[in-house]
Amino acid sequence: MKRFLFSLMFFLLLILIWAGCTGELAFLGLSESLWSPFVLPSPGVVAQYLWDNTLNGKIPMSMLITLRRLLIGYAIGLVLGVPLGMLSARFRSVSDTLGVLALGLQALPSVCWVPLACIWFGQTEAALLFVVIMGTLWSVLLSTQNGMRSVPPIYARAARTMGAGPLHTLVFVTLPASAPFVVSGMKQGWAFAWRSLMAAEIYVSVVSGFGIGQYLHYGRELQRMYQVIGIMFIIILVGLLADKILFSPAEAWLHRRWGTDKE
Amino acid sequence: MIHDKLEQEINAFPTAKLSVEHVCKDFRTRNGSVRALDDVSLTINEGEFVCFVGPSGCGKSTLLNIIAGLDKPDSGLALIDGVPITGPGRDRMVMFQEHALFPWLDVIGNVMFGLKQKPNLTDKERLEVAKYYLFLVKMDRFAHSNIHELSGGMRQRVALARSLAPNPKILLMDEPFSALDAMTRERLYGDIQDVWAKRKKTIIFVTHNVREAVCLGSRVVLFSPHPGRIREQFPVNLARPRNINNHDLADLSMQITSALKGYTAAESD
Ligand SMILES: Nc1ncnc2c1ncn2[C@@H]1O[C@H](COP(=O)(O)OP(=O)(O)O)[C@@H](O)[C@H]1O
Ligand SMILES: [Mg+2]
């Protein structure tokens, strides 16, 4: 609680400094903004923008559009990445080919896929999804592969002595045993998916829907700095919420079961 | 009706006669090949409690893994009731040195794992059987604990319940207590003798501790390394339950220890 208050104070202070520099603390004599509002708008203007556009539905709508793209791309990335990672952990021929490819492509920041996606798919949803999938797939593949490889072989041996067949062992032993690694890989994949989608939305405008990243882009085009900053807050918020809603419960469960909780 | 079937399940005492005939096993390593077992032959009768002793590297685990069906001999045969062993089976359960319990399942989930491989039982009956074995190893109060919450001794007791639950004919134990402290180990010596008496299993127990072997076994089989061979066998006819601190274990322990020293000294000459 004390630590929470301490953090809260820190962020309040940041906002106060921001307000002070942009002329919103007139009662303290700070009525002059140091910069033009084109460069740095005041927190009040940004808040007003967020408030209005939340009420008129534009921001919630764009969040929905963005989240839909994110979830579809991420799901495809997982559905491809987890089984390929398992194959790569299991068969040397796969890890020497696909594993090496994944290692190489993972080193490529996903925004670098954007030009290629635009040429291949044009200004379409498919281009956006492609970038998200490229951003997710390789890191999920690699972390699943590493997770499966770090499972102590004694678990599979124990399962075999208890009469479990190869498929049963894979599904009920190796997979759950590698769960902590796979979940942290999924989390990393999610972070990559989110970053890729923002990059893609900023560069690719499609008629099929206006996502958050596109609002950010048009904020710049129209010289609306309050929109740019407001949308940046929204992006932070979505990233944090996804982490809390999707991954925190899974991680907490894993920590409790495995006894890896620090604290 | 359900009770009859449960009682049948719990009161069945399958045992088996095991024989190992001229088994050889080599391992390739970077420095050439190691002969882990060299022409090893052995017969173990139904319901016997046999201890394998010897210094580390003399092939005890290798032989146990062959009997478990996890490894194959290069030559020779291992048979159960005259049938060659070709792979792992529910008639033989293994308890490893590290507990090898699954951390993603709770205590009862672990005991259920082996039972789930066993057909002809409903899930409810499996649960009852699992509870019975947890009770037998005095762990029934911890049925829903996570594995990491248990002490080393408790974990090995759960591992014991897990290997007993499918009611195997043969229980194979590879240095199961060597990572535990002396006090815990002494309690488990009592428990395992109790289980053996109650469940009438054929048990093979691997250890490098001679006194432990004499305390538990009805026969002690002495191995020597490089190459792994069976050197001598000692019947143990002391009254049970035995306590590891009893004086009557001392004579035989001493005799086995000096035999062991003889073989290892002769080898280094
Ligand atoms: N998987 C393996 N690969 C190579 N060498 C092995 C392997 N398993 C056992 N050995 C060797 O075989 C010999 C017997 O090993 P082991 O059966 O584990 O002995 P013990 O259980 O009596 O200590 C040792 O010299 C050991 O180094
Ligand atoms: Mg060993």
Asked if B104 reaches chain A (Cβ–Cβ under 8 Å), the answer is: yes
Shared domain for A48 and A28, answered yes or no, is no
With respect to residue A263, please indicate whether it lies within any of the assigned structural domains. no
Kindly determine whether residue A257 and residue B146, on different chains, have CB atoms separated by under 8 Å.
Answer: yes
Q: Is residue A262 part of a domain?
A: no
Residue B146: DSSP 8-state: B
What pLDDT was estimated at residue B267? Answer: 58
Whether A15 is in a domain gets the answer yes
Grade residue B180 by pLDDT with cuts at 50, 70 and 90: confident
Residue B44, CA distances (Å) to A152, A172, B19, B32, B52 in order:
32, 34, 6, 33, 12
Are both A10 and A68 inside the same structural domain? no
State whether A80 and A170 are in the same domain. yes
Q: In angstroms, rounded to a whole number, what is the distance separating the alpha carbons of residues A100 and A85? A: 12
Q: What was the pLDDT predicted at A141?
A: 93
Mutant choice from A157, A162, A262 vs B, greatest count of B C-beta within 10 A: A162
Instruction: Report DSSP letters for chain A, one per residue.
Output: -HHHHHHHHHHHHHHHHHHHHBT-BGGGTB-SBSS-TTTS--HHHHHHHHHHHHHTTHHHHHHHHHHHHHHHHHHHHHHHHHHHHHHHHH-HHHIIIIIHHHHHHHTS-GGGGHHHHHHHH-SSHHHHHHHHHHHHHHHHHHHHHHHHHTS-HHHHHHHHHTT--HHHHIIIIIHHHTHHHHHHHHHHHHHHHHHHHHHHHHH---TT---HHHHHHHHHHTT-HHHHHHHHHHHHHHHHHHIIIIIHHHHHHHHHHHT----
A154 and A78 in a single domain? The answer is yes
Do the Cβ atoms of B93 and A256 come within 8 Å? no
How many domains does chain A contain in total? 2
In the predicted model, residues of chain A with pLDDT beneath 70 are 261-263
Q: Are residues A134 and A187 in the same domain?
A: yes
Asked if A135 and A223 sit in the same domain, the reply is yes
Shared domain for A148 and A29, answered yes or no, is no
pLDDT at B1 over 80: no
Q: Which of B86, B102, B105, B115 to mutate to test the interface with A (most CBs of A within 10 A)?
A: B102
Asked if residue A2 and residue A94 are part of one domain, the reply reads: no
Instruction: Clarify whether residues A67 and A122 are in a common domain.
Output: yes
* Minimal CA separation from A90 to chain B, in Å: 19
Q: State the pLDDT at residue A263.
A: 44
Q: Indicate if A58 and A87 belong to the same structural domain.
A: yes
Tell me the C-alpha distance between B214 and A244, whole Å: 57
Same domain for A219 and A111: yes
Specify whether A46 is located in the same domain as A28: no
The region of weakest confidence among A26-40, A186-200, B198-212, B233-247 is A26-40
Determine which residue's CA is closest to atom 2 belonging to ligand 1: B27
Asked if the structure places residue A120 within a domain, the reply is yes
When pLDDT is averaged across residues B32-57 and rounded to a whole number, the result is: 91
Torsion from C-alpha of A212, A215, A220, A226, nearest 10 degrees: -90
Distance from CA of A6 to the nearest CA of B (A): 34
3-state secondary structure of B149: helix
Residue B266 — very low, low, confident or very high, per pLDDT cuts 50/70/90? low
Interval B131-152 mean pLDDT: 91
ipTM score: 0.84
> Could you list the residue range(s) of the whole structural domain that residue A8 is in?
1-34
In this predicted structure, the answer to whether residue B222 has a pLDDT above a threshold of 90 is: yes
How near does any CA of chain B get to the CA of A247, in Å?
17
The 10s digit of each residue's pLDDT in B57-75 is: 899 999 999 999 999 999 9
B175 falls in which pLDDT band (50, 70, 90)? very high
Cβ distance A161 to B92 less than 8 Å, yes or no, reads: yes
Mutate to test the interface with B, among A155, A161, A181, A255 (most CBs of B within 10 A): A161
**pLDDT tens digit sequence for B83-119:** 899 999 888 999 988 878 999 999 999 999 989 888 8
Report CA(B114)–ligand 2 centroid distance (Å): 23
Ligand 2 (ion): which residues have CB within 5 A? Answer: B 61
Nearest residue on chain B to A259, judged by CA atoms? B148
Residue A71 counted as domain residue: yes
Lining residues, ligand 1, CB within 6 Å: B 27, 29, 34, 36, 54, 56-62, 228
Chain B residues with CB under 8 Å of A154 CB are: 96, 98, 100
Assign residue A52 the CATH number of its domain. 1.10.3720.10
